[in-house]
Structure 1
Amino acid sequence: MSSIHRICPECGSFLTDEKTCRDYFNQMLAWDFEDPADTGRLHHLTVLCYCLQHPDLYSSEALEGAKQLLRDIIEKNISAQGLLKKNRKTLAPKGRTWKIKGTLENHGEYRSKIKWSMTASEVCAHGLNRYNELVQKWAESIYEDLKTSGNLV
């Protein structure tokens, strides 16, 4: 039986067999909910990282906000949960005039192409034992890749 090899059109991840980036994301979500006190504390960061690498999931306004959220997490060492609590009113549906979810008419995209140095498949490749460590490294790599590509100003 031969493997099928594909490249994700959004993040450029090398995919084998029948797995998609969404499959890897779903695996991470399952780990988050298996142990909310441990791996679950990274849930918001996991979602942020995945969506930043698949920007059409966000509206253009949400993508800009997500980049700033990641900047605050990395530069100020604030937890994603802490920032979400701080920005709860701004992010609540009644507190904003823009949509978070991307649509055909309004979806996030980057000014220049990004070569991501780490993707969801690589986080999952090492299993649950290294998940917490690798989600943090994934976030840091996304931050650096956004800066290097000129997409984080």
Structure 2
Amino acid sequence: MEPCAECGAPMDPRSCDELFQTLLALGHARQAPWGPLHGVSVSCFLLQHPSQLPADDGAMAWALLHAYLEGGLDEANQLVGRARRGNSHRVQGTPAQAVRDAAPPHRDAPHARFSVTIHDVAVDGSFPSAEFTERVKAWAAATVEAWS
């Protein structure tokens, strides 16, 4: 079977999209360790599968990964909070400066394959809780490195 055209991961036994749906379900349950890392995980997946990037071309995902790698989960959560407040119907204007200036350096996906993908984070497809945080951090670092 051919590897994923976007991230280079093996598509056997489950595709990246199938694994992502599993990861989303775990994240939406809001239980540790998956819930707190939901935004980071989604950001990694989107930046490794740029055909699915939202209209901001990955600016929020890029900013979130940088915040997480530089300041941990607290810093990432602060960024999300500022972005939510900035998107409030009570606030008029442009997105927060940190997000506006954070777009990835180029729109096209990296030509090199990612050293850590959703398949690595999934382990056996179940995203086991043991060492999940460490796997997500490696995924975030590999994503930023490939785009930089």
Indicate the TM-score class for this superposition, using the shorter chain for normalisation.
Answer: 0.7 to 0.9
Percent of aligned pairs with the same amino acid: 26
Residue pairs, 1:2-151, within 5 angstroms = 5-17=1-13, 19-34=14-29, 36-59=31-54, 61-77=56-72, 78-91=74-87, 109-110=107-108, 112-125=110-123, 127-128=127-128, 129-147=130-148
Separation in 1 of the partners of 2:55 and 2:30? 33
Deviations 1:10-43 (A, max 9, x none): 11111113x2101111222233244524321111
Q: Tell me if the contact between 1:70 and 1:139 (Cα under 8 Å) persists in the aligned partners.
A: yes
Q: Which amino acid is the alignment partner of residue 46 of structure 1?
A: S
Separation in 2 of the partners of 1:134 and 1:72? 17
Separation in 2 of the partners of 1:118 and 1:91? 32
Separation in 2 of the partners of 1:12 and 1:21? 10
Q: Tell me if the contact between 2:44 and 2:139 (Cα under 8 Å) persists in the aligned partners.
A: yes
Q: CA deviation at 1:81?
A: 2.4
Deviations 1:33-90 (A, max 9, x none): 4452432111111111111111121246332342233222212334432211022134
Counterpart residue number, 1:151: none
C-alpha RMSD of matched pairs (Å) = 2.8
Q: Which amino acid is the alignment partner of residue 9 of structure 2?
A: S
Flag as ranges the 4+ runs of structure 1 deviating above 6 A.
none
Separation in 2 of the partners of 1:6 and 1:140? 25
TM-score normalised to structure 2 length: 0.72
Q: Tell me if the contact between 2:46 and 2:53 (Cα under 8 Å) persists in the aligned partners.
A: yes
| Matched pairs, number | 133
Stretch of structure 1 that moved more, 76-85 or 129-138: 76-85
Q: Tell me if the contact between 2:110 and 2:147 (Cα under 8 Å) persists in the aligned partners.
A: no
Stretch of structure 1 that moved more, 43-52 or 28-37: 28-37
Structure 1 alignment gaps of length 5 or more: 99-107, 148-153
Q: Tell me if the contact between 1:27 and 1:124 (Cα under 8 Å) persists in the aligned partners.
A: no
Q: Tell me if the contact between 1:89 and 1:95 (Cα under 8 Å) persists in the aligned partners.
A: no
